Amino acid sequence: MALNWREDREYLALVEDLLATEEVQRLESYVHHKVTNRLAHSISVSYRSYRWAKKLGLDTRAIARAGLLHDLFFYESADKGKVGGKGHNFEHPRIALENARKLTEISDLEADIILKHMCGATFDIPKYKESWIVTLMDKESAICEFFTGVKERAQAERNVTVEALSYFFAPLRVSTVVDEATLNYYTKY
Instruction: Report the mean per-residue pLDDT for the chain.
Output: 81
> What CATH number did the domain enclosing 42 receive?
1.10.3210.10
More confident residue, 176 or 144: 144
Angle at 162 between CA 156 and CA 167, to 5 degrees: 130
Closest CA to 67 of 55, 80, 52: 52
How many domains would you assign to the chain? 1
- Residue 182: exposure state from Cβ atoms within 10 A (0-12, 13-18, ≥19): middle
Q: Residues 165-187: pLDDT tens digits?
A: 555 555 554 444 555 655 555 55
Structural domain containing residue 15: 5-146
Q: Return the amino acid letter for 103.
A: L
- Whole-structure pTM value: 0.76
How many Cβ atoms are within 10 Å of 169's Cβ, its own excluded?
15
Q: 112 in a domain, yes or no?
A: yes
Provide mean pLDDT across the span 4-32: 91
Residue 23 is classified by DSSP as H
- Bridge partners, 37 (sequence order): 31
Closest CA to 38 of 149, 117, 142, 148: 142
Q: 32 in a domain, yes or no?
A: yes
The reported pLDDT for the residue numbered 175 is 47
